[in-house]
C-alpha cells in the first residue's frame, strides 16, 4: 500500500541545521552595527524566516529601530538603506551559516528513514542560493541532502506566500498538497505551509522561538527549558501549526498521526490570504 504522506518540505536553519537559528541573528546584528545602528537579538529574531531583504526591511520598519536609525542618520530609513544593509548582510550570512551548518541531532536519521519509506524530501529557506553555498555540501557530508532546495529569490514572493512550498512540491512531483507536510521553526514558515494547503509541524526547541545554541540549551535547568519550549510551542500553535514537536528527532509519532488522518480523509486547515 502506498504510504499516504507524499512529501515533506523542511526549513533549514533552526529546523534541520543550526540549532537555535544562530547564524542569521549573528549576521544581522553585525550588519546593523556596521551602519552604526545596533539591534538586539530579539529585534533580529522577530521576523525570522522571511527572505533576508524582506527581513531587513521589517526590522527597519519597527518603531524602535526606525527611530534609532533616524537619530543616527538624520533621516528615516529608505529603500536605498535596505539595499545597503542587505549588501553587507549577504556575505555575513554566508559565512555564519557555513560555520553553523551542523545538523540538528536526529536530522540525518530522520531523512534516511523517510527516504526508505518512499517519502520525498524537499526544502525551503529564507537564505539566497549564495547564502546556502556553504551549508549544502556540509549538510550532505553529514547525511542530509534533500532532493529539492528552494531559496529566497527563486519565487516572485517569499514567505509567508506559499510559492516556495508549491515550487518544491512541483519539482518533487508530489501532490496533492494535503498529502504533504511543511516543517518549520518560524511562524512565517508555518503560515507558508498552511497557505500552501499542507499539514504543518512546528519545531519549538531547536529553532528561533527558544533561540539558544545546542550547548546553551543543554545547560538550561529543566524548569527553564520547559518554560522556554512551552512558550515557543504556544507561538507556533498560534500561527496555526497542526502539530508541534521539540526537534525533528521527535517527529515520527506525529507523522504516524498525520498519515492516519490523511487515510481518514481529513484535510489540514488553511489560513485566509491576507
- Residues 85-129 have pLDDT tens digits of 999 999 999 999 999 999 999 999 999 999 999 999 999 999 999
* pLDDT mean over 49-68: 96
Q: Alpha-carbon dihedral of residues 255, 252, 102, 18, nearest 10 degrees? A: 50
1 by Cβ neighbours in 10 Å (0-12 / 13-18 / 19+) ranks as exposed
205: which 3 cell numbers?
526547541
**d(C-alpha 205, C-alpha 193), whole Å:** 19
Neighbouring residues of 154: CB distance < 8 A, sequence distance ≥ 6: 129, 164, 167
Over pLDDT 70: what percentage of the chain?
Answer: 98
Q: Which of 6, 18, 47, 52 is catalytic?
A: 52
What residues are paired with 149 via a beta bridge? Answer: 123
On whether the pTM is more than 0.85, the answer is yes
Q: Which of 11, 47, 81, 242 is catalytic?
A: 11
226: DSSP letter? H
**pLDDT grade for 271, boundaries at 50, 70 and 90:** very low
- Residues 144-195 have pLDDT tens digits of 999 999 999 999 999 999 999 999 999 999 999 999 999 999 999 999 999 9
Q: In 3D, which of 8, 42, 6, 11 has the Cα closest to residue 25?
A: 42
Q: Contact at 8 Å (CB) between 193 and 184?
A: yes
Q: Alpha-carbon dihedral of residues 62, 67, 69, 73, nearest 10 degrees? A: 150
Q: Contact at 8 Å (CB) between 29 and 44?
A: yes
Mark whether 52 is an active-site residue: yes
Which domains, and CATH codes, for the chain? 7-21+101-263 (3.40.50.1000), 23-99 (1.10.150.240)
Q: Computed from CA positions of residues 151, 187, 199, 106, in that sequence, does the dihedral angle turn out positive or negative?
A: positive
Amino acid at each position: 500500500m502506498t504510504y499516504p504522506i507524499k512529501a515533506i518540505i523542511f526549513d533549514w536553519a533552526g529546523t534541520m541545521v543550526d540549532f537555535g537559528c544562530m547564524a542569521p541573528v549573528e549576521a544581522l546584528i553585525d550588519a546593523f552595527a556596521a551602519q552604526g545602528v545596533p539591534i538586539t537579538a530579539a529585534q533580529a529574531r522577530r521576523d525570522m524566516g522571511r527572505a533576508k531583504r524582506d527581513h531587513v526591511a521589517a526590522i527597519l520598519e519597527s518603531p524602535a529601530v526606525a527611530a534609532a536609525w533616524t537619530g543616527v542618520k538624520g533621516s528615516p530609513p529608505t529603500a536605498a538603506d535596505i539595499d545597503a544593509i542587505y549588501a553587507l548582510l549577504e556575505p555575513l550570512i554566508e559565512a555564519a551559516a557555513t560555520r553553523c551548518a551542523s545538523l540538528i541531532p536526529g536530522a540525518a536519521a530522520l531523512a534516511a528513514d523517510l527516504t526508505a519509506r518512499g517519502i520525498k524530501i524537499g526544502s525551503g529557506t529564507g537564505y539566497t542560493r549564495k547564502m546556502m553555498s556553504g551549508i549544502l555540501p556540509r549538510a550532505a557530508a553529514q547525511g542530509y541532502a534533500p532532493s529539492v532546495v528552494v531559496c529566497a529569490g527563486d519565487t516572485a514572493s517569499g514567505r509567508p506566500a506559499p510559492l516556495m512550498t508549491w515550487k518544491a512540491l512541483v519539482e518533487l512531483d508530489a501532490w496533492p498538497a494535503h498529502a504533504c507536510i511543511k516543517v518549520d521553526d518560524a511562524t512565517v514558515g508555518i503560515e507558508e505551509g498552511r497557505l500552501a494547503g499542507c499539514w504543518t509541524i512546528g519545531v519549538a526547541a531547536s529553532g528561533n522561538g527558544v533561540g539558544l545554541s545546542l550547548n546553551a540549551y543543554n545547560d538550561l535547568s529543566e524548569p527553564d527549558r520547559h518554560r522556554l519550549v512551552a512558550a515557543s510551542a504556544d507561538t507556533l500553535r498560534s500561527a496555526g501549526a497542526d502539530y508541534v514537536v521539540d526537534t525533528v528527532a521527535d517527529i515520527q509519532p506525529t507523522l504516524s498521526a498525520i498519515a492516519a488522518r490523511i487515510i481518514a480523509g481529513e484535510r489540514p486547515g488553511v489560513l485566509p490570504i491576507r
